[in-house]
Amino acid sequence: MARILLAGGGTAGHVYPLLATADALLQRGHDVAAVGTEVGLESRLVPEAGIDLRFVPRVPLPRRPSLDLLRLPLRLGAAISAAGRAIDAIDADVVVGFGGYVSTPAYLAAWRRRAPVVVHEGNARPGLANRLGSRWAAAVALTFEGTPLAGGVVTGLPMRSAITELARQLHDPVAGEAVRARARAAWGWSADAPTLLVTGGSTGAARLNAVTAEVVERLAQHGIHVLHLTGKGKSDGAERARGNLPARLREMYVIHEYVANMETAFAAADAVVCRAGANTVCEVSALGLPAVYVPLPHGNGEQELNAKGAVEAGAASIVHDSDLTAAALELVAEPLVLDRKARKVARDAAASIGIVDGAERLAQIIERVASR
């Protein structure tokens, strides 16, 4: 049995893989604790999962000269000390980082104590923390092939057990059809209803919402049922569009701001239109779902890189945010839903690149490092 400290937080892209990895390690009989911030998602989700969480001060790296830059050494020192106390509290055999503000002080505290480090990089383009930690890491795990971190091994993304179980069901032709039928019935549709899922994540995506509201009548006229997750507080435009639909089409357009269990939405879908965050790309691919990815138009371009493998495999298409129109969405999404042959080709391609057991793969690496 090993004592393992997991470091990550702030965004869903760091927290959910941490939780999935913790679950896999706990099932293998290891002791697991975590470090995170008091303001990120981890402050709620990690304790809810029954995992001891110790807090580390959030130390963002200032992008330009400022008083915050002058305060950086002192703040980073305090964060390293807090991470070190967390390592000492459980006498950690290994520190596992998932990137972000929390991982930098955890890596540095581990280095001071000569404790081994395992790095997991969730995105195709690594962040600053993981670029630092990978320099002396005992092992580096990657979500995507080609991520530029030396010595990296592709494990895929650790995903929630509900998603991995759904993926296994959907990969079974008989069980998969039954699962899809039940999911569509839960949304009020027939078992064979052609279904397109549109989601911008829990925060929504204004561009996706606007274009979906514009094109939904044409999709419905062609027989496509649309499940639209708008993001919290962002459903007004979609609701107006639904109200303007002919009465016979309204039941084909279901709108929710958010669903707590995304597997209920994924299970109903023939194809997905979404952003290209690492969690989303990995879950969609693991589930064998064809996709239309609309990467975020800002940032460092990591979302387009995240989707690159799926596109090259034939499992997905990319439409840039600036090119997303009602006509473009109709043109690229309709065949994935209505054309059985095109859908099967894309579904098989997605299943061929999707990694279902990322949490187990990472847990095995952590075990090997901890036992050295």
Q: Is the pLDDT of residue 72 over 70?
A: no
- SS3 category, 63: coil
With a cut of 70, say whether residue 258 has pLDDT above it: yes
Predicted local confidence at residue 66, as pLDDT: 59
Give the pLDDT confidence score for residue 34 in this predicted structure.
98
Q: How far apart are CA 298 and CA 368, in angstroms?
A: 39
Edge-first strand order for the sheet with 94-97 is 52-55, 31-36, 3-7, 94-97, 117-121, 139-142, 152-154
Residue 16 banded pLDDT, cuts 50, 70, 90:
very high
| Average pLDDT estimate for 42-50 | 93
pLDDT of 69? 54
pLDDT at 120 over 80: yes
User: Would 3-159+357-370 and 161-353 be classified into the same CATH topology?
Assistant: yes
Cross-strand pairs, 33: 5, 52
At residue 299, the pLDDT reads 74
Structure tokens at 190: 């027939």
**pLDDT: is 300 or 241 the higher one?**
241
Is pLDDT at 61 greater than 80 in this prediction? no
CATH number of 161-353: 3.40.50.2000
Return the CATH number of the domain spanning residue range 3-159+357-370: 3.40.50.2000
Take residue 123 and report the two structure tokens written for it.
């995105």
Query: Where is average pLDDT lowest: 98-102, 239-243, 316-320, 359-363?
Result: 98-102
The pLDDT > 90 percentage for the chain reads 85
Give the mean model confidence (pLDDT) for residues 208-227: 98
Quote the tokens at residue 79.
Answer: 């964060």
| Strand boundaries in the chain, DSSP class E | 3-7, 31-36, 52-55, 94-97, 117-121, 139-142, 152-154, 195-199, 225-229, 253-256, 271-274, 291-293, 316-318
Domain boundaries, the chain: 3-159+357-370, 161-353
Mean pLDDT over each residue of the chain, to the nearest integer: 93
> Where residue 64 falls among pLDDT bands split at 50, 70, 90?
low
Decide if 241 contacts 168 (C-beta within 8 A).
no
The larger pLDDT score, comparing residue 65 to residue 75, is at 75
Query: Residue for token digits 């979500």?
Result: 143
CB contact set of 37 (below 8 Å; sequence gap of 6+): 9, 10, 43, 55, 56, 57, 58, 101, 102
pTM of the model: 0.90
